[in-house]
C-alpha cells in the first residue's frame, strides 16, 4: 500500500493499523455526543417489541420477515434509529445496498434536523463504498457541532477514514490533522493519521505519529508492528525494528501479518533461514495470501533457491495480488529466471 514503487511493502502488514482503526467509522459516536443535541426520543413499547422481533428473525435468517418487523417498528416510532438501521442491515444482507441507501436518504430529507440520521447515512454509505455520499453526510453534520469538540473530532476522523478508503490521501491527512488538533492525545486519530502518512510515503511524519501513539499506549501491538515495518523498509534501525516486531507479536499473536513483519525484518538482517521458516509457516496457514508467497519467494531467492522461489512467485500471481504487488512479483520472476 506504500506509494513508493521501489519498496517491497507488505499489503497485509501495512493495513493492520487501518483495519483496527477503521472500525471506528462503523460504530456509533463515542459518548452519545450527537444524540444529546436532539430531543429525547420516545420509545413506545410496541416499537421496541417489533424491533426485537426483527433482530430475532434476522438471526434466524428470515430476512424478509425481519425487514417487515423493522419497518413496522420505525412506523410505530420514527425516532427508533436502531430499527431503521436494522432495516438497512437486512437490505444489505439481501444484496439491496442502493435501496438501503435510498431509505436513509429519504429519512434524512424527511427529518433534516436529526443528526443521528445523517451519521447513519454517512456510516452506511462508507460501508457500501459510496465514499462521496458518506463524506458529504459527515460534512453536513459539522456545522451543528460547534460546541461539542469531542464529537467534531470524531466526525473529522470519519471523514478522514472515508477519504483514506477512497484513496485520497491528501484529503484524508487534512481531515485527520483537524481531528488531531481537537484531540491531540486520541490514539485512534493518531494511529489513523500515521497509517495514511505511511501510505502516502511521508515516512518521517508517519514515524513520529507511530511513536506518539506508542508513547500514549506502549503496548499497542498494531502501532509497534507498523513502526517496525516502516523502519525496516526505510533503512531505519533494524535492531529496534526487530524488538518492536517481537513485542508486537507477543502482544497480538492472533495476527499473522505481524509474523510477516518479523520475517521481513529477519530477511533485511540477513537471517535468511529464520525468514524462510517464518514465511513458510505463514504460507501453510494462509495458502491463498499472495503477500506471504511473495515474501517467502524473496527469502528463498536470498538463500539461492531459485526453483522453489519461482514456485512461490507463481503461487503468488495465482492468488489475486494487488496491481502493485503483481508488478513486483513479475519483476522477481524475471530475476529468478536469470
Residue pLDDT, tens place only, 284-329: 999 999 999 999 999 999 999 999 999 999 999 999 999 989 999 9
* Alpha-carbon span 3 to 278, nearest angstrom: 26
Show the cell assigned to 6. Answer: 521501489
Q: DSSP labels for 20-71?
A: HHHGGGGSPPGGGTTGGGSPPPP--HHHHHHHHHHHHHHHTT-HHHHHHHHH
Scan for cell 440520521, then name that residue. 117
* Alpha-carbon span 323 to 330, nearest angstrom: 11
CB 224 within 8 A of CB 214: yes
* Alpha-carbon span 310 to 316, nearest angstrom: 10
Query: Can you give the pLDDT of all 338 residues of the chain as single tens digits?
Result: 232 323 344 444 454 445 444 544 444 443 333 443 444 455 578 999 999 999 999 999 999 999 999 999 999 998 899 999 999 999 999 999 999 999 999 999 999 999 999 999 999 999 999 999 999 999 999 998 877 789 999 999 999 999 999 999 999 999 999 999 999 999 999 999 999 999 999 999 999 999 999 999 999 999 999 999 999 999 999 999 999 999 999 999 889 999 999 999 999 999 999 999 999 999 999 999 999 999 999 999 999 999 999 999 999 999 999 998 999 999 999 988 87
Q: What pTM, to 2 d.p., does this model score? A: 0.80
Scan for cell 538463500, then name that residue. 303
CB 126 within 8 A of CB 162: yes
CB 90 within 8 A of CB 56: no
Which residue from 266, 300, 265, 305 is spatially nearest to 280, judged by alpha carbons? 300
Confidence (pLDDT) at 337? 81
Confidence (pLDDT) at 23? 46
Amino acid at each position: 500500500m506504500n506509494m513508493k514503487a521501489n519498496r517491497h511493502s507488505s499489503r497485509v502488514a501495512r493495513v493492520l493499523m487501518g483495519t483496527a482503526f477503521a472500525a471506528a467509522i462503523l460504530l456509533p459516536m463515542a459518548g452519545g455526543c450527537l444524540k444529546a443535541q436532539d430531543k429525547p426520543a420516545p420509545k413506545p413499547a410496541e416499537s421496541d417489541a417489533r424491533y426485537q422481533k426483527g433482530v430475532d428473525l434476522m438471526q434466524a435468517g428470515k430476512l424478509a420477515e425481519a425487514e417487515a418487523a423493522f419497518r413496522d417498528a420505525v412506523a410505530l416510532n420514527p425516532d427508533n434509529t436502531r430499527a431503521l438501521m436494522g432495516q438497512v442491515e437486512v437490505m444489505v444482507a439481501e444484496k439491496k445496498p442502493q435501496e438501503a441507501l435510498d431509505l436513509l436518504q429519504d429519512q434524512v430529507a424527511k427529518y433534516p434536523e436529526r443528526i443521528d440520521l445523517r451519521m447513519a447515512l454517512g456510516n452506511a454509505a462508507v460501508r457500501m463504498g459510496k465514499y462521496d455520499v458518506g463524506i458529504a453526510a459527515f460534512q453536513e453534520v459539522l456545522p451543528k457541532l460547534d460546541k461539542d469538540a469531542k464529537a467534531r473530532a470524531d466526525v473529522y476522523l470519519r471523514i478522514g477514514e472515508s477519504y483514506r478508503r477512497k484513496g485520497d490521501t491528501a484529503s484524508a491527512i487534512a481531515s485527520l490533522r483537524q481531528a488531531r488538533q481537537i484531540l491531540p492525545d486520541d490514539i485512534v486519530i493518531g494511529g489513523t493519521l500515521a497509517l495514511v502518512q505511511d501510505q502516502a510515503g511521508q515516512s518521517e511524519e508517519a514515524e513520529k505519529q507511530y511513536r506518539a501513539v506508542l508513547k500514549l499506549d506502549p503496548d499497542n501491538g498494531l502501532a509497534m508492528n507498523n513502526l517496525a515495518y516502516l523502519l525496516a523498509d526505510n533503512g531505519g534501525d533494524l535492531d529496534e525494528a526487530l524488538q518492536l516486531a517481537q513485542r508486537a507479536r507477543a502482544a497480538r499473536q492472533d495476527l499473522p501479518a505481524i509474523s510477516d513483519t518479523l520475517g521481513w525484518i529477519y530477511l533485511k538482517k540477513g537471517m535468511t533461514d529464520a525468514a524462510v521458516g517464518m514465511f513458510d509457516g505463514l504460507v501453510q496457514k494462509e495458502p491463498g495470501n499472495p503477500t506471504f508467497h511473495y515474501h517467502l519467494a524473496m527469502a528463498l531467492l536470498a538463500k539461492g533457491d531459485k526453483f522453489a522461489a519461482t514456485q512461490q512467485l507463481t503461487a503468488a500471481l495465482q492468488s489475486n495480488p494487488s496491481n502493485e504487488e503483481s508488478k513486483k512479483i513479475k519483476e522477481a520472476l524475471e530475476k529468478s529466471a536469470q
